[in-house]
Amino acid sequence: MLQRTFSAPVYVLKYISLEVSGEREVARTLDDYLRGSARANSPSVARARSVFDQAYAIARQVAELREKHHVTQLELAEKTGLSQAQVSRIER
């Protein structure tokens, strides 16, 4: 059986490095990267994350309510004038 190995190219690691006391240190986890990344903590990214979180919460509510009331995506689509594919995309 063949085994696959993965090694991140050096240029990828460059983008997930942190500035610590003037020295660069590679982030070991996503949380490490987010804590140390000026871009990830910028106001514009925070606003975009907030909008995404709100949209995701609404999508989860749509899916949960649809399932609670035993309505299929197709039935919801017919009642709302959307296609079933659009309802599916909203719920994803």
Domain extent listing, the chain: 7-41, 47-92
Task: Return the pLDDT at 62.
Answer: 93
pLDDT at position 15 over 70: no
pLDDT at position 81 over 80: yes
DSSP letter for 24, please: E
Q: Chain-wide mean pLDDT for the chain?
A: 78
Q: What is the pTM of this model?
A: 0.54
Q: What is the DSSP string of 29-83?
A: SHHHHHHH-TTTTSHHHHHHHHHHHHHHHHHHHHHHHHHHTT--HHHHHHHHT--
pLDDT at position 79 over 90: yes
- The more confident residue out of 80 and 21 is 80
* Interatomic CA distance for residues 23 and 34, integer angstroms: 17
User: What residue ranges in the chain does DSSP mark as E strands?
Assistant: 17-20, 23-26
pLDDT at position 61 over 60: yes
